[in-house]
Structure 1
Amino acid sequence: MSLVSSKHIEEFEVGEVLYHGAIQVTPYRNKEYIKKFNQDYWLGANFNYAQSLGYVDPDKDFKKERFNIDNPGLISQGYLFNVGFGLSVHDISFNAIANLSYKNLRYGIPAYEGDILFAKSEVLGIEVKKDGASNGSVQVRTTITNQRDQLVLEYVRQVLVRASKGVTLDKQSSLQEQPERINLTEAMMPLEYKSLAKFTNHPDQENDSTINYFEQFEADQTYPAIEGIEQTAKSISLVDFSWLQISTLNDASVHHTQKSNFIGYGGAIKATVEGQISRLIPHAYFLGMNTGSHDAPTYPSDIVQSMFNSTNEDDEKIMGSFKVLEKNVISNREDFGILTIELCGDKIVTEAGLSAYEKAGFKGITKIEENKIRVLTMEIVVAVPTQKGFK
């Protein structure tokens, strides 16, 4: 067992396993996440809905007796991701320059409020691009389990990490190749979708365009349409960035220094974009992620406005959308289909936002087009109920 703290790149060893400790996800933390980031996914936000589909915590009696938690609901899958990430930060990416990519993320057994979640990471590989470099990337597989030692979440990420002061590195690469997509035969499928109509306010579901069945989505289409995307644009304050870090024990100091413009935590960007699209797929059950990346920095809107004396309401606003890449069905499940979507976050770049990039020395300014820049791209796999699931 290896208990570590704040490693630099030269201190990682391929094959070592790092234990990150644990956190209990309280009902408050889960519900506050859903509220702050407008997560309208019914499985996490509506206890009665989830219970009607069979999502009942096997430890509910113990949690009532031990923690006085009544009716523990499902933990938002988006929050689970942030819990896993946050627990691993101090040991993996406290000295990081950038989080380069996510791959092969899959969700396991459902997690419930009051669960105690444990995290560990195995070092899979290390890459240094050139001799004499002062940084390199580490590839890790992070695994989250519950108090029953059941798999809740697992993913691979690659992080660019600084070397210790004065240390230079030799060129090397031992990264493990990862699959291009998650294996659906190993994915944890949702419980049966049934009688969903009774949880809607629409008596005539078949003729209601606001109910988004699997059948309604078309491959190669973008949702929402590009011309309407700015209507859902949202910025993130320093308080909300910080709350998500604190509640998941994420102590990355780079997000709290003026030198970095208080650069926003990427997990909050993901949470914001997922929240924006939740109204389009409110009944979705997330199976996993094939690949993902943070493409450009975002800053707290109130910090940018303060630093650059701006009153522009569009400062640091993010717009979420997704494109359907692929549709699949499971032969023995008629209640849902599977969408592979490209989840995208695009940021409006205002005059103050451009000044923030210039101050930070961001080299991707040339990627700004029509005052917008891509800040998040993730290939997500989700289960969405069919019309039969509403019967």
Structure 2
Amino acid sequence: MSKTNRGNFLEDFRLGQILRHATPRTVTCGDVALYTALYGSRFAVQSAASFAGSVGLGRDGHAPLDDLLVFHVVFGKSVPDISLNAVANLGYAGGRFGAPVYPGDTLDAVSEVIGIKENSNRQTGVVYVRTTGRTQRGAVAVEYVRWVMVRKRDPEAVLAETRVPELPGAVAAADLIVPAGLDLASYDDTLAGSPYRWDDYQPGEKIDHVDGVTIEEAEHMMATRLWQNTARVHFNQFSESQGRFGRRLIYGGHVLSLARALSFNGLGNAFRLAAINGGRHANPTFAGDTLFAWSEVLERIELPGRTDVGALRLRLVATRNQPCDAFPLLAANGRDTDPAVVLDFDYTVLMPRR
């Protein structure tokens, strides 16, 4: 009997199944340096311990990790159990960021299967999971729902049960978490790199983030290994040469982090992710593609009992090989998209108020 892990196929999943993922991962200053080298993120709270300390988010001389770095580590934990046999990661919903994570913290992850659906071709289907990442102290760092298209081992296998879960359209304002100790009275716009605060943004406003970045194969491979993400669609050219695209796919989270880093130009004071309301990897991305990004302000949210911080609900759209000055449109039903659109991400950030 083989001792190797070939991953779960569609018919291996069960509704209510709890998957405790290996292996816990201690994050270090090395992870922070690599993340910065890969994406060039410039948000001040995560870039400078002194700045983080001035707003109540420093700990032991460290700034908190970038929220997406935490997301990627937790996501990577889940891959061997959920998406090792994936065709593609399809989307996200109902995500919240909790306690800040710092160098020296250890993250582990647990997922619950909340939905399963077979596709009409009987070759694949979609699995929905709710994944929670916690620190060694038991604090929730991030939780989210994702759904992924997974191959069947046996096309003739009959699923024991199916269900498509009802997912929230957005995380409610009352459920957004403001980190303990946050105090923005001393927030310095000049050091943060942007004069624009929560009050300066209006629903319906679109922001072209202007800059573009070309995806490099080596950087993508390094990033995916950094998160210990073992999905073969990203690594194994031998197997993927026989697949639909004939080449490896770029991990969608790599695209997300690049787009988030680009968004600094126009949203420099969006210092912390609070929620993932929804999101789709609308089209595949490959090495050599150049990414551009734009954002739309969907909603300006007041937080109960806070006058120093507010929340912005944003739509982040990334395109490949097409600058965003024309703001390519996506259909209202979220299905038919401009082929240049590779990411359509609905999320909520915290931002200082005047």
* TM-score (norm. length: structure 1): 0.79
> Are residues 1:274 and 2:247 paired?
no
**1:258-273 correspondence to structure 2 within 5 Å:** 258=237, 259=241, 260-273=246-259
Question: 1:386 corresponds to which residue?
Answer: 353
CA-atom RMSD in angstroms: 2.4
Q: Retained in 1: the 8 A contact 2:300–2:312? A: yes
The CA deviation string for residues 340-391 of structure 1, in whole angstroms up to 9 with x for no partner, is 11011011169xxxxxxxxxxxxx99943xxxx100001111111112xxxx
Matched, 1:31 2:17: no
Measure the CA separation in 2 of the matches of 1:365 and 1:338.
29
Contact 2:174 2:303 in 1 (8 A): no
Structure 1: distance between partners of 2:191 and 2:103: 27
The whole-number CA distance in structure 1 between the counterparts of 2:196 and 2:42 is 13
1:196 aligns with 2:187: yes
Letter in 1 for 2:281: H
Q: Work out whether 1:11 is the aligned partner of 2:12.
A: yes
Q: SS state of the match for residue 181, structure 1? A: coil
**In the alignment, does 2:108 pair up with 1:118?**
yes
Q: Which runs of 5+ in 1 are unaligned?
A: 61-70, 203-208, 302-315, 351-363
Q: Which of 168, 171, 186 is the aligned partner of 1:182?
A: 171
- Kindly indicate whether the alpha-carbon contact (under 8 Å) linking 2:292 and 2:322 is maintained by their aligned counterparts in 1: no
Residue number in structure 1 paired with 2:320:
347
Q: Distance in 2 between matches of 1:114 and 1:96?
A: 32
Q: Which amino acid aligns with 1:215?
A: D
Q: Is the aligned partner of 1:244 residue 2:244?
A: no
1:53 corresponds to = 55
Change (3 A) 1:166 1:210: closer
Q: Which secondary structure state, in structure 1, belongs to the residue aligned with residue 62 of structure 2?
A: coil
Identity %: 27
Partner of 1:300: 287
Structure 1: distance between partners of 2:202 and 2:265: 17
Q: How many residues align?
A: 329
Alignment map for 1:20-169 (pairs within 5 Å):
20-21=21-22, 22-57=24-59, 60=60, 71-130=61-120, 133-169=122-158
Tell me the distance in 2 between the aligned counterparts of 1:72 and 1:327.
30
Q: Does the C-alpha gap of structure 1 residues 170 and 114 become closer, same or farther in structure 2, counting only changes over 3 Å?
A: closer
Partner SS for 2:33: helix
Query: Are 2:122 and 2:155, in contact at CA under 8 Å, matched by a contact in 1?
Result: no
Q: Confirm whether residue 215 of structure 1 aligns to residue 199 of structure 2.
A: yes
Which amino acid is 2:74 matched to? Answer: G
Q: In the TM superposition, what is the alpha-carbon distance from 1:160 to its structure 2 partner?
A: 0.8
Q: What residue number does 2:277 align with?
A: 290
The verdict on how the C-alpha distance between 1:342 and 1:182 changes in structure 2, with shifts beyond 3 A counting, is same
2:300 is matched with 327
What SS is found at the alignment partner of 1:333? Answer: coil
1:31, CA displacement in angstroms? 2.3
| SS of match in other structure, 2:267 | coil
| 3-state secondary structure, aligned to 2:99 | coil
Q: Are 1:107 and 1:152, in contact at CA under 8 Å, matched by a contact in 2?
A: yes
Unaligned runs of 5+ in 2: 324-334
Query: Secondary structure in 1 aligned to 2:42?
Result: coil
Check conservation: 1:9, 1:163, Cα contact below 8 A: yes
Contact 2:14 2:161 in 1 (8 A): no
Match of 2:232 in 1: 253
Structure 1 residue 39 displacement after superposition: 0.9
Cα 1:105–1:119 shift into 2, 3 Å? same
Contact 1:343 1:377 in 2 (8 A): yes
Change in Cα spacing, 1:41 to 1:349, as seen in structure 2 (3 Å) is closer
> Quick check: which has more Rg, 1 or 2?
1
Q: What is residue 344 of structure 2 aligned with on the other side?
A: 377
**Equivalent position SS for 1:127:** strand
Change over 3 Å in CA distance of 1:116–1:331 after alignment to 2: closer
Asked whether the equivalents of residues 54 and 187 of structure 2 are also in contact (C-alpha less than 8 Å), the reply is no
- Once the two structures are superposed, what CA deviation does each residue of 1:322-354 show, in whole Å capped at 9, x if it has no partner? 00011121242111221111011011169xxxx
Indicate if the aligned counterparts of 2:50 and 2:58 stay in contact, CA closer than 8 A.
no
Shift of 1:10: 0.2
* Letter in structure 2 aligned against 1:296: N
TM-score with structure 2 setting the length: 0.87
CA distance in 2, matches of 1:7, 1:172: 16
Report the Cα distance in structure 1 between the residues aligned to 2:70 and 2:187, rounded to whole angstroms: 25
Distance 1:349 1:279, change over 3 A: closer
SS in 1 for 2:114: strand
Task: Give the C-alpha shift of residue 175 in structure 1.
Answer: 2.2
Per the TM alignment, residue 200 of structure 1 is displaced from its structure 2 partner at its CA by 2.2
